[in-house]
Amino acid sequence: MRIKNLVLKNFRNYSSEQFEFCSGLNVLTGRNAQGKTNCAEAVFYLCTGTSPRARRDRQLIKYGCPEAEISSVCGGRYGDICLSARIRENGRELSVNGNRIVRNADLLGNLYAVFFSPQELRLIQDGPDERRRFLNISLSQLSRPYYTALSRYNRILEQRNNLLKDRDTSLVFETLPVWDEQLCAYAAAVAYRRTDYIRRLAPLAAEAHAFLTDGREELAVAPQKKYAGSEQDIKDRLFEELRESCERDVRLGFTSTGPHRDDVEIKIDGEDAKTYASQGQTRTAALAIKLAEVEIFCQFSGEYPVLILDDVLSELDLSRRKKLVARTEGLQTILTCTHAERVLTGREAKRIRIEGGAIKR
């Protein structure tokens, strides 16, 4: 699967521009604040229906314009497909091959992307929400049941949290079991798939990590232990957990257990990486996990994703940089950086220079 071109209209600082991508390495260069990340963001948006950085879609619309448009032709196993998004202040329209789609779920899986920016390099140093975000972005693209369960889980969780804030506690205790039954079903679907994903990711991450450290360190990634067993087992356990924490939840005014609080276990040489590893070590481990993510897309879907490397090379030392570039061989890659020359010697690349929201031709 690959992205052939990308048309941006009034998207961020672009007025109207068309990118043609090659199936290998595409290097977007330019000074700061010219529009490199904006282009990478647009590609990611067509893959996932969300921006990797904007909280609201309206931030994507060029200042002073009524709407933004992103569209692209992608080549897949079954021929070309055309993806497009029209974003307005009060909503958006997504379409696949010119047919309007109503659910974001229908956009997912048409074009896969692994997005890698300095934020992902902090995957291990940062809090558990960053690791959940990683799982959610990956799994939402790969598994529609995951995406659906996660959306419903979040919706019911919000309703449960609203209920927990109600002052009439007898009403709260009476109503909670109704919500909990549904919540647990979706929670179990989410937790079960995350567990499966992490188990599959683990050997790939260990292998990538051995490659990055020349076998000097060992990375072990594992799901939370409480999620052993079948989806039904997980559901029963979560139900029990919710019951046990029910009084605490009422006191706190929010739901204190469940997949929205989960984490991933990450160890380097047997020690918890979040607590003991140096900054260099956690970055290398994060890089290994992202490289494993690329492989896992292939395992799940039979196709490699488009790899988007936004400004990560400058954050890595020369040895890691070379190894990362070596690993991208054969993958369609969109790479942004300020200086292309030093980093990519030896690798054929299409260079696109960006200046002030336009390609410099």
Ligand X SMILES: Nc1ncnc2c1ncn2[C@@H]1O[C@H](COP(=O)(O)OP(=O)(O)O)[C@@H](O)[C@H]1O
Name the residue among 176, 261, 198, 189 with its Cα closest to residue 231: 189
Site map 281..320 versus Mg ion, x via CB under 5 A:
------------------------------x---------
Give the span between the Cα atoms of 295 and 141, in whole angstroms.
14
Q: Which of 16, 33, 218, 251 binds ligand X (CB under 6 A)?
A: 33
37 binds Mg ion (CB under 5 A): yes
Place of tokens 């789609």: 101
For the chain, the C-alpha Rg in angstroms (whole number) is: 22
Beta strands 79-88 and 349-353: pairing type? Answer: unpaired
**Alpha carbons 80 and 3: distance in angstroms, whole number:** 10
Task: List the beta strands (DSSP E) in 97-202.
Answer: 99-101, 113-116
Tell me which stretch binds ligand X (CB under 6 A): 19-27, 36-44, 191-199, 227-235. Answer: 36-44
Window 44-63: residues binding ligand X (CB under 6 A): 59, 61-63
Of 1, 19, 27, 37, which lies in the binding site for ligand X, with binding defined by CB under 6 A? 37
Question: Is residue 51 a contact residue for Mg ion (CB under 5 A)?
Answer: no
Q: Which does 69 bind (CB under 5 to 8 A by kind): Mg ion, ligand X, none?
A: none
Tell me: does residue 36 bind ligand X (CB under 6 A). Answer: yes
Q: Which stretch in 30-38, 115-123, 133-141, 240-248 sits in contact with ligand X by CB under 6 A? A: 30-38
Quick one: 35 or 223, whose CB is closer to Mg ion?
A: 35
Q: Tokens 């889980």 identify what position?
A: 153
Question: Does residue 274 interact with ligand X by CB under 6 A?
Answer: no
User: CB atoms < 10 A from the CB of 214, how many?
Assistant: 9
38 contact, one of ligand X, Mg ion, none, CB 5-8 Å limit per kind: ligand X
Instruction: Return the DSSP state at 123.
Output: T
Residues of this chain, 219-238, that bind ligand X according to CB under 6 A: none
Of 31 and 243, CB closest to Mg ion: 31
**Smallest separation, CB 7 to ligand X (Å):** 17
Neighbours of 286 (CB within 10 A): 26
Strands 99-101 and 271-272: unpaired
